[in-house]
Amino acid sequence: MQAEIITIGDEILIGQIVDTNSAWIGQQLNAIGISLKQISSIADSAADITTALSLTSGRADLILVTGGLGPTKDDVTKQALAAYFGCGLHRDPEVLAHVQAIFSRSGRPMLEANRKQADVLDICEVLFNQTGTAPGMWVTYKRKHYIVMPGVPHEMKHIMTERVLPRLQQMEQRQPIWHHTMLTAGIGESFLSEQIADIEAALPAHIRLAYLPKPGMVRLRLTATGDDMERLQNETRSIVSQIRQRIGKHFMGDGDITLESLILNFMKRHGLTLATAESCTGGNIAHLITSIPGSSSVFEGAAVTYSNAVKERLLGVKTETIELYGAVSEETVREMAQGAQQRFQVDYAVAVTGIAGPDGGTPEKPVGLVWIAVAGKNGVTVQKHLFGQERNINIERASMAALFMLWECMNAELDIRLI
């Protein structure tokens, strides 16, 4: 089965937003063996929508349409679809009740534009949207399937996950495909690729390896296609185990996991508590950790100590230390980690101080210089890093490096190794 995506919205074409929906949909379809042939991003224009629908229908059996379902006048998707299918729109009572409930819950007044959100194509099956006011729609027309969804990412994901993917999985014509993703950290992409070059070179033609680098980590993804799913799984498993053995401590885990969720689960299992003391990362590590449901059983809190005075007041860093060595130094980061461990009364405290840029660099302490410390059961470990010039990349890389260092320390101290 071939699929295509049509994303509708002027904001994509003038670059005001990046289309992250299509990549997510592509991943999901791929995981269930449906291949995506093309993604077309077009304007909020009825004529362009019609052209795209007719071209896409000539190439694919499954057409996913996102965007342009909002309550405002610039959203023309529903009208264009109705014209294309030659059908009308009607107000769905169940969706209307849902929209009304959302408004009464929040106490906001409900307007005619909001009621219109409940209008759906006459020939569609409604894909109920628990998370917002615009429902999804499934239309089967001339033996092709059209799935229409709002462009708001969490609403689209909800409709896909709850209503669309389970049904697609039951449809025929899917090619057996098996993916295995691994998370690696603390090792760069090219160094990683060099280390496993022979394993990669020996891969059979039906198994592909992809590198998915992000600041501070690299995901590896094996994709195997063939007729026999069990064989694909066995082959993949054997390659994964070769890679694990080769890269050792840099192998973090299987699946589409994150470093922070891995650490959180590990600490939860071992009854450990955590706090962070963050200067240049500005609360990003705390934010990453607290984005995970259930993090409160491990995470006590963070001190984001941007100014020197606050480093002293909240973490007990000594005035002399900062005067003598500076805020970005081995000595300061050490006292930050110790201070956080004591004041938050936690098993592990991670501290970061550095120069994120673009300003604040000097010849001895350039932009990108970051000190990281982990206070654990056996004292404090300190590391120095030199990242790049870009502020936000530096914040991300420092956060990842700090999490990897915490992981390393816990493994060393607790003498627990995954491999």
Residues 118-147 that bind its own copies (CB under 8 A): 131
Residue 127 or 303 with smaller CB distance to its own copies:
303
How many residues of this chain bind its own copies (CB under 8 A)?
113
Cis check: omega of the bond before 358, within 30 degrees of 0? yes
**Of 144, 179, 249, 365, which one interacts with its own copies (CB under 8 A)?**
179
Residue 131's identity, in one-letter code, is T
* DSSP assignment string, 332-399: HHHHHHHHHHHHTT-SEEEEEEE--SSS---SSS-TTEEEEEEEETTEEEEEEEE--S-HHHHHHHHH
Q: What are the structure tokens assigned to 140, written together?
A: 């089967």
CA atoms within 13 A on the CB side of 236: 25
- Residues 295-354 contacting its own copies, CB under 8 A: 295-296, 299-307, 309-310, 313-314, 343-345
Strand bridging mode 35-42 / 348-354: unpaired
- Residues 379-398 contacting its own copies, CB under 8 A: 386, 388-393, 395
**Of 246, 287, 318, 365, which one interacts with its own copies (CB under 8 A)?**
287
User: Of 194, 171, 215, 213, whose CA–CA distance to 61 is shortest?
Assistant: 171
- Residues 210-229 contacting its own copies, CB under 8 A: 210-213, 219, 221, 223
* 244 scored as a contact of its own copies (CB under 8 A): no
Residue 29 or 374 with smaller CB distance to its own copies:
29
Q: What are the structure tokens assigned to 138, written together?
A: 């499934």
* DSSP assignment string, 187-214: S-HHHHHHHTHHHHHT--TTEEEEEEEE
Q: How far is the CB of 344 from its own copies (least distance, A)?
A: 6
Query: Dihedral sign, CA of 320, 324, 327, 330?
Result: negative
Burial 380-416 (b: 16+ CB within 10 A, else e): bbbbebebeebbebbbbbbbbbbbbbbbbbbeebeee
CB 382 within 8 A of CB 373: yes
Residue 232 or 356 with smaller CB distance to its own copies:
356
* 206 scored as a contact of its own copies (CB under 8 A): no
Residue 180's identity, in one-letter code, is H
**Of 88, 104, 122, 154, which one interacts with its own copies (CB under 8 A)?**
154
Residue 93 or 109 with smaller CB distance to its own copies:
109
* 240 scored as a contact of its own copies (CB under 8 A): no
**Of 1, 11, 257, 318, which one interacts with its own copies (CB under 8 A)?**
11
**Of 166, 188, 248, 255, which one interacts with its own copies (CB under 8 A)?**
188
* 100 scored as a contact of its own copies (CB under 8 A): no
The C-alpha atoms of residue 124 and residue 50 are separated, in whole angstroms, by: 17
Q: How far is the CB of 130 from its own copies (least distance, A)?
A: 8
SS3 288: helix
**Of 182, 289, 333, 351, which one interacts with its own copies (CB under 8 A)?**
289
**Of 109, 238, 320, 415, which one interacts with its own copies (CB under 8 A)?**
109
- Residues 16-75 contacting its own copies, CB under 8 A: 16-20, 22-28, 30, 35-44, 48, 52, 55, 70-74
Residue 354 or 376 with smaller CB distance to its own copies:
354
User: Of 208, 169, 347, 378, whose CA–CA distance to 275 is shortest?
Assistant: 347
Q: How far is the CB of 299 from its own copies (least distance, A)?
A: 5
Residue 326 or 360 with smaller CB distance to its own copies:
360
Residue 7 or 321 with smaller CB distance to its own copies:
7
- Backbone dihedral region of 65: left (phi > 0), alpha (psi from -120 to 50 degrees) or beta? beta
* 236 scored as a contact of its own copies (CB under 8 A): no
